[in-house]
Amino acid sequence: MYKVPKTFEAACKITGTDPNFLPNTAGLSEVMAKRHIADYKLEIIHQATVGDWKPDWSNWNKYTPWLVWSPSLGAFVCSLSYITGTLTHLGARFWFPDHESAKSFGMMHIDLINDLHRAA
């Protein structure tokens, strides 16, 4: 089973990334800057979780966090993980080799996921 780091800093330690380095967001709106930083942090956390594992697009051995939009919260919530083939109705970038790591990633880092997808 793959273990999802609880923090960006822990993921940086695993990947050998400098946690003080963040993408340059000068000149971007606050929402756009948050999106870029969230995307960067999620990529590092994902890499720290799966290491060299790559999804095999020819079969169903990949999972992604399943996010549901909650209008009352104005945010996504992670309800579970979903195994899927190469055709999805919702494109997913963060693939995992097992259900538990996908679900943990989504639940632990829902704030970053919301920063990545939130419109305002």
Residue by residue, pLDDT tens for the chain (120 residues) are: 689 999 999 999 999 999 999 999 999 999 999 999 999 999 999 999 999 998 887 777 777 777 777 777 666 776 655 555 444 444 467 888 888 898 889 889 989 988 988 755
d(CA 19, CA 32): 20
Q: What is the number of helices (H) and of strands (E) in the chain?
A: 4, 2
**Can you give the pLDDT at residue 112?**
93
- pLDDT attached to residue 81: 54
What is the SS3 assignment for 39-90? HHHHHHHHHHHHCCCCCCCCCCCCEEEEEEEECCCCEEEEEEEEECCCCCCC
Q: What pLDDT was estimated at residue 74?
A: 67
Can you give the pTM of this predicted structure? 0.81
